[in-house]
Amino acid sequence: MRYRSQGDGPFIGAARRRLSVSLCLLCVFAASLRSAEAQQLSLPPVTRATLDNGIRLVLMEYHRTPTLNVSAVFPGGDAGDPADRAGVAGMVASLIRRGTEKRTATQIAEDIDFLGGSLGAGAENDAFTVSLSVLAKDTDAGLDLFADVIRHATFPEAEVERVRQLELSDLEALPEDPGSIASRVTTETVFAGHPYGAVPTITSMKAIARDDLLAYYHRFLIPNRMILVAVGDFHTSEMQAKLRARFGDWPKGDEAALNVPSVAPTKPKFVLVDKPDATQTQVRFAEVGFPRSSPDYFPARVANGILGGGFTSRLVDEVRINRSLTYGIGSGFRAWLRGGEFTVSTFTKIETTRALLDTTRAVLKRTAEQGFTSGEMQKIKGYLSGQFAIGMQTPDALAAQLADITFYGLPDNYLQTYLGRLRAVTLADANRIAHAYFPPDRLSLVLVAPAAKVSGQLKGLGNAETRSVETVGK
């Protein structure tokens, strides 16, 4: 493979040196920029409706392939886990398709597999999502299963223990994978003390009782909290009727508020996870970012794109292409309800760990202090505009965007105004983001490496809190 993208999707920066091509090529180049920026994306219309029990329906017809994607999104997510029971939401996600009042785990597996499609659930920081993907001809059978697991999950004791054992084994195996360790320890470090930083451990997974799962399920999976998104090869009125038939009689639940505090910035830390057998150092720089509702969202997409998004970004150009220090480097902002993060991810062989750290820090420092050029701004907007159009080809991507719009309270015309919002970002906006988030001294640093072999290169970086890889996930 040529590269793997990291961070918040493939954004691009642009050349910092003059393009040395013939005049004719430059014409084409400029023309393509104008066209990408001028483009208006025409998407199928969206129908929104609210059922009597509070379910918010969002429907979009998609006729490119004979398929159906449906997602149910509920607020709560991992942040709804009890304080000492990290992993409850994830367990509920695993167990929701392992038994209902009418179907055993085996029957559910058999039924969805027979359709050839997928039925799954997952939790992230704030949201709990159940998703169905089937061929359009299997709409009724698929929706029956989807509604059954959402409304009538039973969490059989034997299934709870099965899933617990799987989760425990996965946590036991965690020290095998340097990249996963680095990302996990980064989350723990940046969000220390906040629910976003409470990741499941062997201790927390052992403490979870079936009652915790039932409590979570009944508290968060209720119709008056549900966003129901369908994108597929259907007629809107018929799909609306099918969804109403399966969810319309679901009685409202008690909508107790979940008070997740805003994320507070943390002091930068330096953590070294000792993995004695590694021949490579995994590196993460990270800090607290901003919530999804922040006006910084679009400026940050632009600034991050130039810094470490696509293949011509400053970080990829300097660290990978000019110096061959790594196979992959990227940066990204992620934003949730109560806060977000900014991360730079990369890796290099042990011998060049310090060179990688110094080069990355130098790019961050220069970008924070000097900002961007108007040429870079123009190019990044062309790139992000084109990527948006390309990304909106799949029903998965469309459904995810539509769910986000309702979940985060974005304007209904968000997709239609997306390109305009990108264009509206000014050089001053992007420079402000760079100044605020990119100074390297603000960032926590997490390394996964053999401590004995790498420590000689870490002088002057401050005292690392060193922990054994065997402590991760315990």
118 part of the interface to another protein, by CB under 8 A: yes
Q: What are phi and psi of 388, to 5 degrees?
A: -65, -45
166 part of the interface to another protein, by CB under 8 A: yes
Helices (H), 174-231: 178-190, 202-207, 210-220
User: How many other C-beta atoms lie within 10 A of the C-beta of residue 65?
Assistant: 12
Contacts of another protein in 432-451 (CB under 8 A): none
In the shown chain, the binding pattern of residues 204 to 243 toward another protein, with x for contact by CB under 8 A and - for none, equals ----------------------------------------
112 part of the interface to another protein, by CB under 8 A: yes
Select from 70, 150, 227, 278 the one that contacts another protein (CB under 8 A). 278
Closer to another protein by CB, 173 or 209: give it. 173
Give CA–CA dist 458/449, Å, rounded.
12
Contact 242, 143 (CB under 8 A): yes
470 part of the interface to another protein, by CB under 8 A: yes
Contacts of another protein in 383-412 (CB under 8 A): 383-387, 389-390, 392-395
Give CA–CA dist 409/227, Å, rounded.
12
Which residues, 6+ apart, have CB-to-CB distance to 375 below 8 Å? 14, 15
Instruction: Specify the amino acid at residue 431.
Output: N
| Structure tokens belonging to residue 54 | 């509070």
Select from 82, 120, 253, 268 the one that contacts another protein (CB under 8 A). 120
417 part of the interface to another protein, by CB under 8 A: no
Give CA–CA dist 217/235, Å, rounded.
32
25 part of the interface to another protein, by CB under 8 A: yes
Which of 287, 283, 311 has the alpha carbon at shortest distance from 10?
311
351 part of the interface to another protein, by CB under 8 A: no
Contacts of another protein in 255-274 (CB under 8 A): none
Residues forming beta bridges with residue 133, ordered by sequence position: 69, 118
Contact 47, 240 (CB under 8 A): yes
249 part of the interface to another protein, by CB under 8 A: no
Select from 6, 71, 100, 125 the one that contacts another protein (CB under 8 A). 125
Instruction: Give the full edge-to-edge strand order of the sheet including 280-288.
Output: 329-335, 340-349, 280-288, 444-449, 270-274, 465-468
Q: Judged by CB under 8 A, which stretch of 220-228, 254-262, 295-303, 317-325 contacts another protein?
A: 317-325
321 part of the interface to another protein, by CB under 8 A: yes
Contacts of another protein in 82-111 (CB under 8 A): 90-91, 93-97, 105-106, 109-110
Q: Judged by CB under 8 A, which stretch of 60-68, 213-221, 365-373, 406-414 contacts another protein?
A: 60-68
Closer to another protein by CB, 382 or 440: give it. 382
Give CA–CA dist 365/439, Å, rounded.
5
315 part of the interface to another protein, by CB under 8 A: no
